């Protein structure tokens, strides 16, 4: 449904929007968020577009690169870099793995929580800083932290309040203009969740407050709704047990499943979209 707004920006906050989204929990709405914080944050964002398309007749080819161990030894770097735009996310280690994962990056997707966790958990494996350069940073609005970090990043200020109070966004993103910061729209996340990523976890009272689509799933569906052709690399496939959790793991680590995501359901979706030729999913046999 291409009418669903993919991004939030200054023009998306209104009284009607607030009434529609104030009773839905993040990332599907604004429940529990101060209206003045949401309004002020979005007012800093000047554009409703993820990227400028240029010529309407131009076909935009996008690669979305997950961090799955299936990419180790894959030699897909050149194929990935042949795309016009490349999405990466969370612990996106590039140095030392260029032959397998390429070097190009245009979008980096994350929540404040997943970004900080990646910097902590994968530092010794090579993820020592968030990707730099002329990159668009795509926030997933999982809670208030993301709005506060985004506002501070755009304004070049320390985070004023909350969990990340006193944090300096420029140590993550550098000095970037407002147009380099994007944030997904709660209505878009709600739409793709219920249309593509509806999990049994949503119907269980014990897990529905924990569940949300993975960062990779949201980035892949964002690409699918903005690009003309989409290829997915490093995503979970049915033979996931043959590969390590991440391509940059120094030792074999089996993929672990937690109740905040439904990766098995996501893998079935990627295979179905590949079968229908909606996306091209990178798959391979054996281990690595």
Q: pTM of the prediction? A: 0.94
DSSP characters for 232-270?
EES---TTGGGS-SBTT-SS-------TT--HHHHHHHH
| CA 254 – CA 106 distance, rounded (Å) | 29
Cα angle 49, 82, 213; round to 5: 50
Q: Which band of pLDDT confidence, cut at 50, 70 and 90, is reported for residue 288?
A: very low
**Could you read off the pLDDT of 230-279 as tens digits, one per residue?**
999 999 999 988 999 999 998 999 888 777 888 899 999 999 999 999 99
Query: Dihedral through CA 276, CA 277, CA 279, CA 280, nearest 10?
Result: 120
Q: How far is CA 279 from the centre of its chain?
A: 17
């Amino acid at each position: 449904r291409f009418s669903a707004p993919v991004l939030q920006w200054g023009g998306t906050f209104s009284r009607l929007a607030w009434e529609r989204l104030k009773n839905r929990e993040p990332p599907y709405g604004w429940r529990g968020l101060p209206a003045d914080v949401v309004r002020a944050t979005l007012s800093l964002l000047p554009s409703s577009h993820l990227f400028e398309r240029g010529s309407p007749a131009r076909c935009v080819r996008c690669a979305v690169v997950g961090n799955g161990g299936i990419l180790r030894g894959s030699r897909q770097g050149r194929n990935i870099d042949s795309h016009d735009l490349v999405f990466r996310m969370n612990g996106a280690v590039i140095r030392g793995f260029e032959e397998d994962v390429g070097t190009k990056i245009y979008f980096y997707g994350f929540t404040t929580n997943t970004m900080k966790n990646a910097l902590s958990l994968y530092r010794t494996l090579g993820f020592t800083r968030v990707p730099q350069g002329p990159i668009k940073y795509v926030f997933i609005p999982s809670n208030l932290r993301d709005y506060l970090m985004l506002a501070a990043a755009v304004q070049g200020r320390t985070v004023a309040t909350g969990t990340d109070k006193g944090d300096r966004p420029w140590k993550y993103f550098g000095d970037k203009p407002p147009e380099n910061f994007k944030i997904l729209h709660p209505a878009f996340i709600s739409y793709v969740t219920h249309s593509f990523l509806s999990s049994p976890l949503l119907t269980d009272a014990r897990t529905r407050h924990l569940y949300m689509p993975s960062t990779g799933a949201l980035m892949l569906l964002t690409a699918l709704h903005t690009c003309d052709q989409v290829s997915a690399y490093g995503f979970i496939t049915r033979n996931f047990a043959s590969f390590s959790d991440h391509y940059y793991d120094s030792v074999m680590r089996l993929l672990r499943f937690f109740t905040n995501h439904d990766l098995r359901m996501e893998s079935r979706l990627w295979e179905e979209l590949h079968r229908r030729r909606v996306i091209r999913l990178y798959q391979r046999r054996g281990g690595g």
